[in-house]
Every structure is written in structure tokens, then in C-alpha cells.
Amino acid sequence: MKIRTALLTGLLLNTGLPATAAETEIATVAGGCFWCVEKDFEHVEGVISAVSGYTGGLLQNPTYRNHGKHIEAVQIKYDPAKVSYAELVEIFWRSVDPTDAGGQFCDRGNSYTTAIFANSDEQREIATASKEKLQQSGILKADIVTPIRKAGAWTDAEDYHQDYYKKNPVRYKIYRYGCGRDDRIKELWGNEAHKGIS
């Protein structure tokens, strides 16, 4: 039975079919407006989907209208055979301003702060090591304030927030440009900025 399962798995992997749930993992990050984080990650090879939502607070059913004590975040489903968690963390750093404790770009307040929510001890160790290495590198001229937190309760954001950049491309571009997100990332990271931003 094990041999047959292994053979079938191998055949599926070689056919280019989507990875099954057992072969995928979840990364959870917060980087300001979840519309932007979702778009940045959905274009990464190996990422299967990115879902906007609320986490990090105490309400049982947060919504966009009452999520002030929660953080806008994104759950990224990915195929670890194509992209590693460590690679996703590096992309995350280079698509946000991890030195800003008050929010991100034009969006201010707790809801828009950055965080990495570790879904396992292994993820926490990888994210912590990455943060320490980045701080010591001197690439950024200020301290990294993004916390590494344990993942907790998660609530998907309302349907109209999911894939907002696809549903409302013009409004999304106006918002992103007006918020100064990409200009700040390029100013902060230079050539190190994540190539998929905008």
C-alpha cells in the first residue's frame, strides 16, 4: 500500500497537477493593507493561494468594521517543493517596511502593523533567525520592529476583500500608488526590494 501511494504521489507530482492539501503548507504574515500583501504573494512561484483575513486579536468574529484590535493579515498556501518558508520570509521582509511600528505607508494604527505569525516551532525558528540575520546585516538603517508571533485564531475577510486587485484593478492601483507603498519599499530596500511589488 505504501509503495502504491508513493508511486501515485510521484506520478501526480510529475504531471504538473496542483499539490494536494497534504503537500501544502501555510505561512501567515501581516504587512499593512491585506490587498497589497495578497497580490505580492500570489505572483510568487510555488504559492497556490493567498487569503486576506483578520488575526492577532480577541474578537471571535472580527469584521472590517470592527477589526481595530485585530491585524489585517494574509494566509499563504504554498507548495514547499517549489518555494520554502525561508524564501517566503525573505520576500515578506522586502515587500514591507519592517522598521515602522505605527502601521504601513499611509495606513496607520494597530490593524496595519507588520507581523509574522508562526504556525509551528520550525516556522518561528526560521523567521527569528531571518530577522536576526537581517538586523545584523545593516541593510536597513533602523531597528526591525516586526514581531514574530504565534499564529492564533483566524477569520477570513469578507468576500469583497479577496482578490481585490483583480476585482477592482483601477481602484487598487490608485490606492497603492496614492499610499506610497512601492516608493517607500524601493527607497528602503533599493535593489533588494521584492521584484513582485506593485
| Sign of the alpha-carbon torsion through 105, 127, 57, 143 | negative
pTM value surpassing 0.75: yes
Domain presence at residue 140:
yes
Helix H or strand E encompassing 180: none
Domain presence at residue 47:
yes
Domain presence at residue 184:
yes
pLDDT tens digits, one per residue of 90-114? 999 999 999 999 999 999 999 999 9
pLDDT tens digits, one per residue of 55-91? 999 888 899 988 878 999 999 999 999 999 999 999 9
CA distance 110 to 77: 25
Q: With beta carbons less than 8 A apart as the criterion, state whether 51 and 156 touch.
A: yes
In DSSP notation, 47-61 reads EEEEEEEEESSS-SS
Residue 179 annotated to the active site:
no
Here the CATH number for the domain that contains residue 79 is 3.30.1060.10
Active-site hit among 33, 36, 106, 179: 33
Work out how many domains the chain is built from and give that number.
1
Q: With beta carbons less than 8 A apart as the criterion, state whether 115 and 146 touch.
A: yes
CA distance 128 to 147: 9
